[in-house]
Amino acid sequence: MRLLVLLLALIACAAVQALLPAWAWLGGAQAPVLLALVLFYALHYSRRWMLWCAFAAGLLQDSLGQVPLGCSCLCFALAGLWAQRHREDVDEQAYISQIIFGGVAAAMMTLLLYALLRFKGAITLSLADALRKTLGTVLLAAVLTPVVFRMVLGLERRLGERPALETGGRP
Amino acid sequence: MRDRTLVGLILAGLILLVILNLPEAVSGRVRGFIRDAFAPLQDLVASASRQGQETLKLARGVSSLMSENQRLAGELARQRLRLNELERLEEETLKLRHLLDARRRAPQRLITCAVLGRDATGWWQALRLDKGTAEGVSAELAVTTPEGLIGRVISATARTADVLLLSDPKCKVSALVSRTQAFGIVVGNGVTPQGLPTCRMEFINVDRRHGVQNGDEVVTSGLGGIFPRDLLIGRLDNVKTNESGLYAEADVVVAADLGALDYVFVVADERPGAPPAPAARRAAEAGVP
């Protein structure tokens, strides 16, 4: 059942990410929906599940854009490993933790992807523009991560992977 | 347990290395398979989004009638729904007629494609089209609209194709000013914070004496083998000399609206016996070689 949830969540997140436009006033930042999904698996499940999610999400993101195949897998996996390393230090159910994890992971991911794409000669974006885009992605990730967490939790409950929420309980 | 974790991480690293170093042909096939598998869903989501926007517009219109009489409001809503549908159909008919006219007039064979979406990572100014190699769309073909050129195909799978827009800094087009025949390169300049796609034209060996002016029409030169000659790109704006003070450069206001594209044409090849393009005809009449 967990695999089904992962597949459905991956397809939904990829579809939403492909549909949402890049925000010009945020430096062309794209909403990091797939990254938020990887963070969900990093904060809730084992390393194996997180890596599966990171690889699948990375392949999807690279195939939906122009990024050379594998670059996003690497960035997602590193962001996920970082999040797992620090998940014991925080309450992963708290919105503030999700916002901070989302923001920091988005910054790491965008800068790493920028370095990789510049190294491969795939883009000609200046560092100043990349920093503006990073800031935009951080803002979008901070807003989106709690939303994606709620959506995947809801999907898991609906499909019986997680017990239903009791009145007054925490998510 | 620790050993198993280490082995798992090493295995993941090795898989990643293999993916990152896949030969271009293999990675293209993998990418193409995922893209083609995802295309129907992307198409579905895009059309659902368009319908949702239409419904939202309609809902906004209906909400403004709430203060009126219930029966009249209902009747009005029904009429509005019908009118809205008719207007949408009329708009779509006009748009398609416009596209059909442009397609008939064009000296090249044009493949009509719908836009599925934009680059999902935001690093490029790119579009995804709903047609691929199965319909004759392949890499390095020009992409245009009735208003003018928008970019070139950079990759194609069996069912989809990706287009790099003129505003992307990696997109360069050999161009000329149709009035003076001054050559230059049109280079993408990214998007302004207001979301406006921008380009600039760098002239080759053209100084101020050649008299390029604001408002001059810029068309493709036909050099380079990708873009056919005489496709309209846009008009010059803010003509100035470069930093050395010797040569001219200018912004280019792109004729096509790169921010609102529903349907585009991929320029496949020249039609046999087609009439010469307007700029080529003008140049021939003026005696320009």
* Digit-coded pLDDT (tens) for A74-111: 999 999 999 999 988 888 788 999 999 999 999 999 99
| Contact residues on chain B for A68, CB-CB shorter than 8 A | 20, 27
| Count of CA atoms in the C-beta half-sphere (13 A) of B239 | 21
CB contact under 8 A, A72 and B120: no
Give the C-alpha separation, A161 to B141, whole Å.
48
> Hunting for tokens 């579809």 — which residue is that?
A15
Name the burial class of residue A96, with classes exposed (0-12), middle (13-18) and buried (19+) by CB atoms within 10 angstroms of its CB: exposed
Radius of gyration of chain A (CA): 16
Q: Is B211's pLDDT higher than 90?
A: no
- Whole-prediction pTM value? 0.70
Return the number of other C-beta atoms located less than 10 Å from residue B254's C-beta. Answer: 27
| Contact status, residue B139 vs residue B133, Cβ threshold 8 Å | no
State whether residue A46 sits within 8 Å of chain B by CB.
Answer: no
Closest partner residue to A69 among B31, B42, B119, by Cβ? B31
Q: For position B268, what pLDDT does the model report?
A: 84
CB A18 within 8 A of CB A34: no
Over 90: is that where the pLDDT of B152 sits? yes
Cross-chain Cβ contact B117/A11 below 8 Å:
no
b/e for B76-103, b at 16 or more Cβ within 10 A? Answer: beeeeeeeeeeeeeeeeeeeeeebeebe
Contact B193 A25 (CB under 8 A): yes
Q: How far apart are CA A81 and CA A74, in angstroms?
A: 11
**What CA–CA distance (Å, rounded) separates A62 from A73?**
8
How far is the CA of B246 from the CAs of B29, B202, B207, B237, in angstroms? 48, 12, 6, 18
Contacts of A80 in chain B (CB under 8 A): none
Q: What is the mean predicted confidence (pLDDT) over A2-29?
A: 87
Contact flag A30-B122 (C-beta cutoff 8 Å) = yes
**At residue A79, what are phi and psi to the nearest 5 degrees?**
-65, -40
Query: What is residue A89's DSSP assignment?
Result: G
% of chain A residues with pLDDT over 70: 95
For residue B169, the chain A residues in CB contact (below 8 A) are: 123-125
* Distance between CA atoms of residues B174 and B169, nearest Å: 14
**Token pair listed for B284:** 């021939």
Q: Which residue from B122, B194, B196 is facing A28, i.e. has the nearest CB? A: B122
- Report which of residues B222 and B280 the model is more confident about: B222
Residue B27: list chain A partners with CB under 8 A.
68-70
Q: For residue B247, is pLDDT > 60?
A: yes
Highest mean pLDDT among A55-69, A134-148, B112-126, B211-225: A134-148
Interface pTM, i.e. ipTM = 0.71
Q: Does A144 touch chain B (CB under 8 A)?
A: no
Higher pLDDT, B187 or B211: B187
- B202: phi then psi, degrees, rounded to nearest 5: -105, 120
CB contacts, 8 Å: B192 with chain A: 24
Alpha-carbon Rg for chain B in angstroms? 24
For the ranges A5-19, B30-44, B95-109, B247-261, which has the lowest average pLDDT? B95-109
Provide, as residue numbers in chain B, all residues whose Cβ is less than 8 Å from the Cβ of A133.
122
Output the pLDDT for position A152. Answer: 92
Taking contacts as CB-CB distances below 8 angstroms, the residues of chain B near A21 are: 118
Query: Which tokens hold the place of B108?
Result: 């090249």
pLDDT of B1 above 70: no
Please count the residue pairs, one from chain A and one from chain B, whose beta carbons lie less than 8 angstroms apart.
119
Task: Give me the helix-helix angle, A47-64 and A2-19, nearest 10°.
Answer: 30
Q: Choose among A24, A47, A69: nearest Cβ to B5.
A: A47
pLDDT over 90 at A150, yes or no: yes
Secondary structure of residue A69 in the 3-state scheme: coil
Separation between Cα atoms, residue B191 and residue A136, nearest integer Å? 15
Q: Does A62 touch chain B (CB under 8 A)?
A: yes
Please compute the mean of the pLDDT values over residues A151-170 and round it to a whole number. 73
Distance linking the first and last C-alpha atoms of chain B: 78
B218 Cβ contact partners less than 8 Å away, ≥ 6 residues apart: B175, B176, B177, B178, B186, B201, B232, B233, B234, B235, B236, B252
Closest of A64, A70, A77 to residue A31, by C-alpha: A64
Compute the mean pLDDT over every residue in chain B, rounded to the nearest whole number.
79
Determine whether the interchain pair B118/A21 forms a contact, defined as Cβ–Cβ distance below 8 Å: yes
Write out chain B residues lying below 8 Å of A60, CB-based.
34, 38
Question: Which residue from B minimizes the CA distance to A60?
Answer: B34
Of A66, A71, A74, the CB nearest to B124: A66
- Using CA atoms, how far apart are residues A106 and B132, in angstroms rounded to an integer? 33
CB contact under 8 A, A61 and B120: yes
Residue B208 banded pLDDT, cuts 50, 70, 90:
low
> In the predicted model, what is the mean pLDDT of residues A21-50?
89
Check residue B270 and give its pLDDT: 58
Q: How confident is the model at residue B275 (pLDDT cuts 50, 70, 90)?
A: very low
CB contact under 8 A, A66 and B155: yes
Residue A86 contacts residue A104 (beta carbons within 8 Å): no
- Contact between B195 and A24 using a beta-carbon 8 Å cutoff: yes
Report the gap between the CA of A2 and the closest CA in chain B (Å).
Answer: 20
Token pair listed for B43: 């198409």
If we measure between CA atoms, which residue out of B144, B151, B96 comes closest to residue B266? B144
φ/ψ of residue B154, rounded to 5:
-105, -25
Q: Report residue B69's pLDDT band, with 50, 70 and 90 as the boundaries.
A: low
CA–CA gap between residue B167 and residue B256 (Å, rounded): 11
Find, in chain B, the residue whose alpha carbon is nearest to that of A16: B45
Contacts of A58 (CB under 8 A, 6+ apart): A70, A71, A72, A73, A74, A75, A76, A77
What does chain B come to in residues?
Answer: 289
Residue A15, chain B, CB below 8 Å: the answer is yes
Q: Cα–Cα distance between A146 and A93 in angstroms, integer?
A: 9
pLDDT of the residue at A32: 93
Query: CA B161, B184, B138: angle at the middle one, nearest 5?
Result: 15
Are residues B118 and A22, on separate chains, in Cβ contact within 8 Å? yes
Closest Cα to residue B240, out of B255, B231, B251, B256?
B251
CB contacts, 8 Å: B120 with chain A: 14, 17-18, 30, 61, 64-65
CA distance B76 to chain A (A): 33
**Amino acid found at B183:** F
A166 DSSP assignment: P
The model's pLDDT over B26-41, given as tens digits with 9 standing for 90+, comes to: 888 888 888 888 888 8
Reply yes or no on whether the pLDDT at B107 is more than 90.
Answer: no
At A168, the pLDDT band (50, 70, 90 cuts) reads: very low
Q: How far apart are the first and last CA of chain A?
A: 20
Among A5-19, A115-129, B88-102, B220-234, name the one with the lowest average pLDDT: B88-102
